[in-house]
Structure 1
């Protein structure tokens, strides 16, 4: 296996897909909402869990690229991935995936047994998705959403905080919205050839996905609003309702970008859109002020 450097020109770094590590930000939600951002041991545990899930997610990307190499070679954009393009041999990519998975699992179990079990659940879910679920309409997006929920639960376990049902509901609804937007983007990119690249895309249509996205968007806003209404009781905590406009703008901005010019790639929108980045930072700042500065 070739030496892995830090340049994005390095095929192993591209195989790990660092641009998608932002998805593992859900691991840090438990630290913020458990009010332990000032507690160094909790911060260290949360950050280690974040790094661990970056390794785990990269392991699943590498394994997926190995299994789907023939399909990816026929895809207009995926054919440039390191395995599909021939830069990395499938056996080397699989070895890379095993090494990353081992590192990720080791870090998770070092934090605690519950975090370790969450990591195993995540890998099993990703294996089921890669082998079976990604070919089943609707269940494919539900599996993607479940992966985000597992990340969030692992983050909660890392800081030894009780699990809030609101965390599961809000994370699940938001990521269902993101998952359906991803399928919409794939249809926009592949067009009439979509079914030839993935069987379940034949069962989707842009119109149906737009309806599903609208439902999930509305449900996400309602669920988050109810969360701020009913969880925080004190007078100071009532200001959590001030974060609702940021959530509304953020999901609407995201939808705008997905629809613009045939749809942007949902996996990298946050990395490329400055208004989305500013909105996220302002949301975090307001949440921090409400929960930590009283």
Structure 2
């Protein structure tokens, strides 16, 4: 009778040993590192899926050391290895990645994987396993319905994060020896992935409405709300795309490694499917708003894509782009409601958000200096932090100067009954900018100053005082 330790244990890779899909990950690495090669994907695919995987793997390097491995399965494999069991990695992933994973883990005696000619899945994988083992019995650990033929031929089945339907089939058709569950990503996980809290930044869309004192106008208010939702859906699609492009960087970051896709809580394939759905929602809403809003929305998307794909790694251009993206929210609000924007508002926005973008980079460089992260491919060195602090505080104080000049302009007397009160905004904004930078220089700033301000008590007080000043000036 064959003992368990004398039976080879065959293990799948994608979705089983790792909580991700290496083909999708490598495609996004290619998009980031060599975007011009994306035009060649259809041609590679026409020559077969195996050729597609091989061409991508030849050009896209994966950081296998930081992949989201299934820790429970790894513990089980380690235990079986100590008992002297033969363990085989059999995967449809490209052989380059499979051998890199095997070398990193040092658990596998043999590796079976796809090459340029054969996509090793289903019956092809089963044939390769039988040939390797000379038709000897084996156990098989996997997660997907594509593995049914191999499970059916195995002595025992190990289900790893299998769906309910797959579990029912395996229970009735095979001998299930072990189940390793995977906690599904629910609504809260999707909320985190879509960064719904970041929708708070889109309140800038309402600024033109507030500045014109038309907040109670039903038509413009509805238009602003629709614009807010459209911008939120578009921004969430970009956040998902950005997370998929930055998987390797995020996994090396002390905080970002917990993001749903980086940690493997959400399958990367689900993120790929969600992106076009969110884009469609934004596009449908834009149809009901003025064409100029649609143009601004499209511009925001193009600039954001450019930022995600490369501009965020170019020093100074990255922070200028962030300032432009925030200012585009103001322009979108004006386009959706038909309210013209003043030069002063746009100038104030650029200066203020340039300052906050530099505070964001300083917070990241603080982590670099402390050794908590390598910098994530940004275009800065750790010693650039002093220059950024100088530039960032200068931009912040420049925004206060712009505000003071605006207060002295004819626009103020036209919109406020007591314009002298508006002068009180200057010390409030000056204090708030100084507070932001004091927190940054102390190393207390998070990687997003806007989110920090929304949660910071001192910032909330400044916002409340500023709102009271504006109301008092208008009455």
Q: Normalising by the residue count of structure 2, what TM-score does the alignment of the two structures yield?
A: 0.57
Task: Name the residue aligned to 2:226.
Answer: 48
Q: Please state how far the C-alpha of 1:104 moved relative to its aligned partner.
A: 2.0
Q: Residues 255-274 of structure 1 correspond to what in structure 2 (within 5 A)?
A: 255-265=437-447, 266-274=449-457
Task: Name the residue aligned to 2:465.
Answer: 282
Q: Is 1:251 matched with 2:429?
A: no
Structure 1 residues 120 and 16: CA distance shift in structure 2, 3 A: same
Instruction: Tell me the distance in 2 between the aligned counterparts of 1:254 and 1:233.
Output: 31
Structure 1 residues 60 and 278: CA distance shift in structure 2, 3 A: same
Instruction: Tell me the distance in 2 between the aligned counterparts of 1:87 and 1:264.
Output: 23
Check the 8 A contact 1:137/1:204 in 2, yes or no: no
Three-state SS of the structure 2 residue aligned to 1:232 is helix
Which has the higher mean CA deviation after the structures are superposed, 137-146 or 159-168?
159-168
Instruction: Tell me the distance in 1 between the aligned counterparts of 2:191 and 2:223.
Output: 25
Check the 8 A contact 1:181/1:213 in 2, yes or no: yes
How many residue pairs align between the two structures?
Answer: 287
Task: Name the residue aligned to 1:150.
Answer: 328
**RMSD after superposition:** 2.0
Check the 8 A contact 2:237/2:274 in 1, yes or no: yes
Check the 8 A contact 2:445/2:452 in 1, yes or no: no
Which structure carries more helix by proportion? 1
Residue 242 of structure 1 is aligned with which of 393, 399, 424?
424
Instruction: Tell me the distance in 2 between the aligned counterparts of 1:42 and 1:290.
Output: 23
Check the 8 A contact 1:188/1:263 in 2, yes or no: no
Q: Is 1:95 matched with 2:273?
A: yes
Task: Name the residue aligned to 1:122.
Answer: 300
Residue 215 of structure 1 is aligned with which of 375, 394, 416?
394
Instruction: Tell me the distance in 2 between the aligned counterparts of 1:109 and 1:271.
Output: 31
Check the 8 A contact 1:105/1:120 in 2, yes or no: no
Check the 8 A contact 2:208/2:333 in 1, yes or no: yes
Residue 194 of structure 2 is aligned with which of 16, 34, 41?
16
Q: What are the Cα deviations for residues 8-47 of structure 1, in whole angstroms up to 9, with x where unaligned? A: xx22111011222222121111110112112121112112
Q: Please state how far the C-alpha of 1:263 moved relative to its aligned partner.
A: 3.2
Check the 8 A contact 2:327/2:350 in 1, yes or no: yes
5+ unaligned residues in a row in structure 2: which ranges?
1-183
Q: Residues 64-83 of structure 1 correspond to what in structure 2 (within 5 A)?
A: 64-83=242-261
Q: Which runs of 4+ in 1 moved over 6 A?
A: none
Q: Normalising by the residue count of structure 1, what TM-score does the alignment of the two structures yield?
A: 0.90
Instruction: Tell me the distance in 2 between the aligned counterparts of 1:100 and 1:269.
Output: 26
Three-state SS of the structure 2 residue aligned to 1:37 is coil
Residue 380 of structure 2 is aligned with which of 192, 201, 206?
201
Which has the higher mean CA deviation after the structures are superposed, 89-98 or 72-81?
89-98
5+ unaligned residues in a row in structure 1: which ranges?
none
Q: What are the Cα deviations for residues 134-161 of structure 1, in whole angstroms up to 9, with x where unaligned? A: 1111000111111011100001112211
